[in-house]
Amino acid sequence: MKGYALVVFLLVSCSGFAQNTINNYKYVLVPERFSFARENDQYGLNSVAKSLLDEKGFTTYFDNSEIPTEVAGNRCNALITEVVQKKGLFVTNLTVILKDCKGNVIFKSKEGKSREKEFATSYNLALRDAFTSLNDVPYAYVPAPQQAAPAVQAGVVPTSPVVTPAATAPAAPVATTPVVAEVKEAAGTLYAQATANGYQLIDTSPKIVLTLLKASVADYFIANNGASHGIVLKKNGDWYFEYYKDNKLISEKLLIKF
């Protein structure tokens, strides 16, 4: 009985080690809309998820955009992003899940939480909190090795020849290429007014042009101008509002007086 238990333990252990990891995937697909949302890219969550996956090193695409032939011809070459919401009283709970084409969970984050009252802020903070789990998982793309054929027991004649695939050397990590953005020049100077969670940028009218919500990274804000959700970040000393419009990345330069 002890010997049988040991065999079962070894089989289960080997099975666990044989499973794919995020390192076996170069591409990740992000949906236009998560299952709990009422509209595409609600609160900018889908754009934020795509941006955070890009930062991790994946090559990401929205599932409605033009995808590379390698993925279009075989969806199993990409992971699929899901964000699941757990209903809670006065708290937003979100969990990030990366699945393969067969629905197997390759990565599942912790439950990200936020108790902010404003919906856009709460959902964004909860999503970013969930994504912190991905920081603890090293990532470098290495294609999954082909599995060798089962070993033949001694003394047993196989019914068909056993072919063992030639070993392939692991590919070197692939560096992702940044998305080329359409750059727009600044329309005028905006003045920053501090709020509880960030700033609101107003023009000389005065009219609120952009709402900025603080993030966990310096010089980085979750942004919303009423029509588009995106991010405001500092690059080479200048501020930019970046967002997607018609599946195209727009980078709008800002002149901000804090």
DSSP string, 67-99: --HHHHS-GGGEEEEEEEEE--TT-EEEEEEEE
Identify the domain containing residue 192 by its residue range: 182-257
Whether residue 177 lies inside any domain: the answer is no
Distance CA 244, CA 178 (A): 14
| Confidence label for 216 from pLDDT (cuts 50, 70 and 90) | confident
In the block, tokens 């912790």 appear at 110
In the block, tokens 């970046």 appear at 242
Is 113 found in the same domain as 26? yes
Distance CA 76, CA 99 (A): 10
Q: Which of 105-109, 166-170, 206-210, 238-242 has the weakest average pLDDT?
A: 166-170
Highest mean pLDDT among 101-105, 173-177, 178-182: 101-105
Say yes or no to pLDDT of 107 above 50. yes
Is 37 found in the same domain as 106? yes
- Tokens for 253? 């330069």
Please count the CA atoms within 13 angstroms of the CA of 229 that sit on its side-chain side: 19
| Confidence label for 147 from pLDDT (cuts 50, 70 and 90) | very low
Is 189 found in the same domain as 125? no
Q: What is the mean pLDDT of the chain?
A: 82
Whether residue 155 lies inside any domain: the answer is no
Is 202 found in the same domain as 104? no
Residue whose C-alpha is closest to residue 23's, from 146, 138, 148: 138
Residue whose C-alpha is closest to residue 83's, from 40, 131, 120: 131
Say yes or no to pLDDT of 166 above 90. no
Is 195 found in the same domain as 124? no
Last residue within a domain, chosen from 98, 115, 135: 135
Whether residue 63 lies inside any domain: the answer is yes
Whether residue 97 lies inside any domain: the answer is yes
Whether residue 174 lies inside any domain: the answer is no
CATH number at residue 55: 3.40.50
Whether residue 223 lies inside any domain: the answer is yes
Please count the CA atoms within 13 angstroms of the CA of 31 that sit on its side-chain side: 17
Say yes or no to pLDDT of 238 above 70. yes
Pairing relationship of beta strands 220-224 and 229-235 according to DSSP bridges: antiparallel
More confident residue, 210 or 177: 210
Whether residue 71 lies inside any domain: the answer is yes
pLDDT in tens, 77-106: 999 999 999 988 889 999 999 999 999 999
Q: What b/e sequence results for 160-181 when a residue is b if at least 16 CB atoms lie within 10 Å of its CB, and e otherwise?
A: eeeeeeeeeeeeeeeebeeeee
Domain count, the chain: 2
Is 128 found in the same domain as 31? yes
Say yes or no to pLDDT of 239 above 90. yes
Q: How far is CA 129 from CA 83, 112, 191, 228, in A?
A: 12, 5, 29, 22
Residue whose C-alpha is closest to residue 209's, from 181, 239, 247: 239
Last residue within a domain, chosen from 98, 114, 135: 135
Distance CA 50, CA 96 (A): 12
| Confidence label for 7 from pLDDT (cuts 50, 70 and 90) | very low
Whether residue 2 lies inside any domain: the answer is no
Last residue within a domain, chosen from 135, 170, 190: 135
